[in-house]
A and B are shown apart, each in its own frame.
Chain A
């Protein structure tokens, strides 16, 4: 068990560019979550997958955001036409949802800075 990994760890981009982040969950976990965390705040839920199905999306996830988990393993989060307000830490978590008593394990995050 190598834990949840995220790449890249840091990303600096110019406003208007597209960025893509990757998350590799713990191997046997069937659920994968994306959260956004701004400075001084707790993480805010963006979306989650059970296997390859995207089951829930927050209203925070505007049309410029898209997430995929094509084979039920790793996931990508893409932000199109980035804006300065997108600057944040993007956290990925995974869990094994079986009994209902679910624990989410977090990756180290990808810190995005939009100039």
Chain B
């Protein structure tokens, strides 16, 4: 079965520092991959997506992610974190066009 792991349950960074959130997937075909962000009590907002082509994808709010097939990874990065980025981040893979499989999430805290 398809699965998504996010090894870091909680990450704390200082405002202005760089950020990398890890995502690994187990999938039997070329994956479609997504990153969503969820603020407390809210739904999920799409940050970026990868379908094919350039393995470095740009998203909203200054985020980017790189697809590495050899490592089965799709890590999310941001060069300089803002206090408003504090939220829960979810990586997801499209399950053969039927539904999305989500990782358990990484909670990001930002220190002033």
* Closest Cβ neighbor of B105 among chain A residues: A42
Q: Is A115 an interface residue (CB 8 A)?
A: no
The closest CB in chain A to the CB of B4 belongs to A42
Stretch of A68-76, A79-87, A98-106 contacting B (4+ beta carbons < 8 Å): A98-106
Fill in one digit per residue for A87-115: 1 if any B CB lies within 8 Å of its CB, else 0: 00001010001001111111111010000
A21 interfacial by beta-carbon distance below 8 Å: no
Residue numbers in A under 8 Å from B95 (CB-CB): 45
Contact A48 B94 (CB under 8 A): no
> Which A residues lie within 8 Å of B103 (CB)?
42
Number of residues on chain B facing chain A (CB within 8 A): 25
Contact of A104 among B4, B42, B100, B104 (CB under 8 A): B100
B71 on the interface (CB 8 Å rule)?
no
A85 CB to closest chain B CB (Å) equals 19
Question: How far is B44's CA from A56's CA once the two chains are assembled, in angstroms?
Answer: 22
Whether the pair B97, A42 counts as a contact (CB closer than 8 A) is: no
The reply on B112 being an interface residue by CB < 8 A is no
CB interface residues, B 71-112, toward A, < 8 Å: 90, 92, 94-95, 97-105
Residues of B within 8 A of A43 (CB): 44, 90, 100, 102
Chain B: which residue is nearest A108 at the CB level? B43
* Nearest CB on A from B51, distance (A): 4
- A residues near B (Cβ < 8 Å) are 4, 6, 33, 40-45, 48, 55-56, 58, 91, 93, 97, 100-109, 111
